[in-house]
Amino acid sequence: MSDFFDELETRAPEVREADLFRRLPGHIGAAMEKAPALGAHLKGVDPAAIISREALADLPVLRKEDLMRAQKAEPPFGGFAAQDGSVPSRVFLSPGPIWEPQGEGSDPWLAARALFAAGFRPGDVVHNSFAYHMTPGGFIFDTGARALGCSVFPAGVGNTEMQVEAIAALRPRAWSGTPDYLKVILDKAEEVGADCSSIEIASVGGGALFPALREEYARRGVSVLQTYATADLGIIAYESEAREGMIVNEQFIVEIVRPGTGEPVADGEVGEMVVTTFNRHYPLIRFATGDLSAVLAGQSPCGRTGMRIKGWMGRADQRTKIKGMFVDPAQVNAIVKRHPEISRARLVVTRDGDQDAMTLNVELKEGVSASDGLAEAIAASLREVTKLGGTVTSVDPGVLPNDGKVIADERTYD
């Protein structure tokens, strides 16, 4: 059997990019026509013009808050699902609350490719410990494994002793679930004297797989690889045996943007993941995940040629209440736009006695002086945009951390 799921994984990057943007205009056009809320969201957009990343970046970002407002006004999907006469085979409810329809096909969340990269193969028995209740997590991995030709035990979460009994009886080679729950199962197996040594590989998601935990699994004979997925989109990226970042799944366009905006950042800079899917039934265009990551340069040593990201690096939602008023990363970006001398900025919130205080740290572009009233002008913009006073400090280029934070809340109340 091949080391790859299919030939798409090893295409030249420029071939993949050309194929994605060849298909994108027609997809956007059909989505605008069949999903009325998306059509309204993209009103005035000419789909035929969206033939590059630069053109895509001009479209507005769609956020969960937009979906929730629309779904509350027009349940269940708020007009963002295609109204083409088709009926989703399943409907899910995730925290928010937010409704999600199951897409078409045997692998609607595109999980099979990620499972193959984790070592799952046709004929394997898979013990799936993702939740099947209300949210789609369990079904994402269940359908992907079955599409790959595996047999699935739908364990769900909880009832750990019964899960141990099932593993001892069914002898599954593969496991899927959250990163820490496998340890709970293996520890329980040791406690009760059950043999769960059949598990050799695992695909995990829904949380961080810390290096120490991965190493512990390896000592216990289990190779564990991560996925990055959302209930709305499916498996967006996955690890391969190279374990160098995560490879963006085929059929997705991933952008990394400055938090609170839709503006792409330079490769390597941390920002918010914005994803465009080719799902015809739930065609989310430039959907903001709320998660931080960064593009990892180069191609994976495993031979897959897709874009790589560094994986989950935290949450992008940095909206912060200061002196009783919310300040949003988009406001910080508006200040940066007003002053072309600024290359990067970070608003730091602290306490000054019993009062909130904020300082806007700015990196100036090469050759720009902090004198001649520039700091005062930026401070005036800070007050005008946020309606709050604060100080401005110029820092050397490269001083601000590359962690995606536009607003850093460093307040303590000890």
Give the whole-angstrom CA distance, residue 87 versus residue 76. Answer: 12
Give the separation between CA 335 and CA 349, rounded to whole angstroms.
16
Quote the CA–CA distance of 194 and 206 in Å, as a whole number.
27
Give strand pairing partners of 414.
Answer: none
- Residue 108 confidence (pLDDT): 97
Place of tokens 């401005």: 392
Q: Which ranges constitute the DSSP H helices of 302-366?
A: 329-338
Q: Give 351's pLDDT tier (boundaries 50, 70, 90).
A: confident
Query: Please, what is the average pLDDT of the chain?
Result: 93
Cβ atoms 215, 203 nearer than 8 A: no
What is the mean pLDDT of the segment spanning 40-56?
A: 98
pLDDT, residue 111, reads: 98
What is the predicted pLDDT for the residue at 313? 86
* Strand ranges, E, within 10-90: none
pLDDT digit string (tens) for 295-342? Answer: 999 999 999 999 999 988 888 878 788 877 778 888 998 999 999 999
C-beta of residue 128 within 8 angstroms of C-beta of residue 155: yes
pLDDT per residue as tens digits for the range 251-285: 999 999 998 889 999 999 999 999 999 999 999 99
pLDDT in tens, 139-188: 999 999 999 999 999 999 989 999 999 999 999 999 999 998 999 999 99
Confidence band for 199, pLDDT divided at 50, 70 and 90: very high
Query: What 3-state class would DSSP assign to 110?
Result: coil
395-402 long-range Cβ contacts below 8 angstroms, 24+ apart: 395/361, 395/362, 395/363, 396/363, 397/343, 397/363, 397/364, 397/366, 398/363, 399/361, 399/363, 400/344, 400/345, 400/346, 400/361, 400/363, 401/346, 402/268, 402/269, 402/270, 402/294
Give the chain's length.
414
The token pair that represents 67 in the structure block? 């979906």
Element (H, E) at 23: helix 13-34
pLDDT exceeds 80 at position 195: yes
Q: In what order do the strands lie in the sheet with 252-257?
A: 252-257, 271-277, 287-293
Query: Closest Cα partner for 153 from 111, 189, 163?
Result: 163
Distance of CA 145 to the CA centre of its chain: 21
Q: Is the pLDDT of residue 371 over 80?
A: no
Amino acid at 174: A
Closest to 125 measured CA to CA, from 190, 178, 200: 200
DSSP state of 64: H
Nearest-Å Rg of the Cα atoms of the chain is 23
- For 193, the token pair is 């004297």
Q: Over the stretch 97-137, which tens digit does the pLDDT of each residue have?
A: 899 999 989 999 999 999 999 999 999 999 999 999 999 99
Judged against a pLDDT cut of 80, whether residue 413 lies above it is answered with: no
Burial 101-119 (b: 16+ CB within 10 A, else e): bbbeeebbbbbbbbbbbbb
DSSP single-letter state for residue 52: S
Look at residues 155, 145, 143 and name the one whose alpha carbon lies nearest to residue 124.
Answer: 145
As a whole number of angstroms, the distance between CA 105 and CA 49 comes to 29
Whole-angstrom distance, CA of residue 103 vs CA of residue 213: 34
Put simply, whether the predicted model's pTM sits higher than 0.95 gets the answer no
Decide the pairing of beta strands 174-177 and 201-204.
parallel
Burial class of 311 by CB neighbour count within 10 A (0 to 12, 13 to 18, 19+): buried
Distance CA 248, CA 255 (A): 11
| CB contact at 8 A, 259 and 270 | no
